[in-house]
Amino acid sequence: MDFTGQAAIVTGGGRGIGRAIAEKLAQKGVHVAIADINPDEAIEAAASLTSLGVKAMGIKLDVSKAEEVKKVFEDVRKEFNKIDILVNNAGITKDTLLLRMKEEDWDSVMDINLKSVFLCSREAIKEMSQRRYGRIVNISSVAAFMGNPGQANYSASKAGIVGLTKTIAREYASRGITVNAVAPGFIQTAMTDILPEKVKEEVKKQIPLGGLGTVEDVANAVVFLASPDSGYITGQVIHVNGGMYM
């Protein structure tokens, strides 16, 4: 996988899965922009990549705000001259049972998890389609495929990502842009740390390969789809879930 000289944006890359993706891309020689709502985490994560000999920038971005997305993509394009890879990773949960779910919990999860993929992909594709090359990798979830009690908003947003992935893949295949998704199962991060121990134990029983996955497990699949070697793969979902959903 030769990524030499390529440039990427990873949203929500300040910590967790996004940070692991940014690190793996940088290890392959990719210049990386980490765009995260938490500027301190973004800057710190980016600074840690420069020792790998690549350019790295940490930028504050709320992925649900169209104007911010436009500005950040312009800034990254100025810095790196191009964008080869976009990883739409930023995401949140606001879990509760349907009858207790507030409209604002529905809206914020849809905006940050799903609308963001539309906004960021639109900006990236403007540039990628001119150069007739691009790789977009969207982070979905096993919850999109199995459903999960308490996650009506989250599972709907992550299922929406799958439909969006396939449509953008069809629209821009002729421009050399591939668009795929990775659907993680239960991965050890801050997002799953908040789950009660009892829930985690129940989840583990459903995982044939045993235990929660690591951020590296997810990052490996993302880097594969982001590589120039994956040019004949588009509109697909790679499941990284220890066999929880087959």
The catalytic residues are 154
Q: Residue 147: how many CA atoms within 13 Å on its side-chain side?
A: 4
Q: Which residue has the tokens 């588009």?
A: 234
With binding defined as CB under 6 A, does residue 12 bind ligand NAP? yes
The amino acid present at 76, given as its one-letter code, is V
- Which of 112, 114, 137, 222 binds ligand NAP (CB under 6 A)? It is 112
To the nearest 10°, the Cα dihedral for 238, 44, 118, 131?
-80
Nearest-approach distance from CB 1 to ligand NAP, in angstroms:
22
- Decide: is 38 part of the binding site for ligand NAP (CB under 6 A): yes
Q: Which of 118, 133, 129 is nearest to 7 (CA)?
A: 133
Write each residue from 136 to 165 as x if it is in contact with ligand NAP (CB under 6 A), else as -, in one continuous string.
---x-x------------------------
> With respect to ligand NAP, which residue has the nearer C-beta, 17 or 179?
17
37 binds ligand NAP (CB under 6 A): yes
Number of C-beta neighbours around residue 43 at 10 A: 18
CB 131 → ligand NAP: shortest distance, Å? 26
CA 115 to chain CA mean position, Å: 13
Q: How far is the CB of 95 from ligand NAP (least distance, A)?
A: 12
Nearer residue to ligand NAP within complex by CB, 14 or 134:
14
Residue 116: Cβ-neighbour burial (10 angstroms; 0-12, 13-18, 19+): buried
Do 64 and 119 touch, CB atoms closer than 8 A? Answer: yes
Separation between Cα atoms, residue 26 and residue 226, nearest integer Å? 12
Residues in region 182-201 near ligand NAP by CB under 6 A: 184, 186-187, 189-192
Number of shown-chain residues binding ligand NAP (CB under 6 A): 29
Out of 7, 8, 10, 17, the residue judged to bind ligand NAP by CB under 6 A: 17
* Torsion from C-alpha of 10, 161, 151, 198, nearest 10 degrees: -50
Among 6, 59, 89, 155, binds ligand NAP (CB under 6 A): 89
Using the structure block, give the residue that is written with the tokens 């594709």: 125
Length of the chain as a residue count: 246
Told to check if 16 binds ligand NAP by CB under 6 A, we report: yes
Q: How far is the CB of 63 from ligand NAP (least distance, A)?
A: 4
Does position 11 bind ligand NAP by CB under 6 A?
yes
* The pair of three-digit structure tokens given for residue 129, joined into one six-digit string: 């389609």
CA dihedral of residues 1, 48, 195, 244 (deg, nearest 10): 10
Q: Which residue ranges make up the site for ligand NAP (CB under 6 A)? A: 11-12, 14-18, 36-38, 41, 61-64, 89-92, 112, 139, 141, 184, 186-187, 189-192
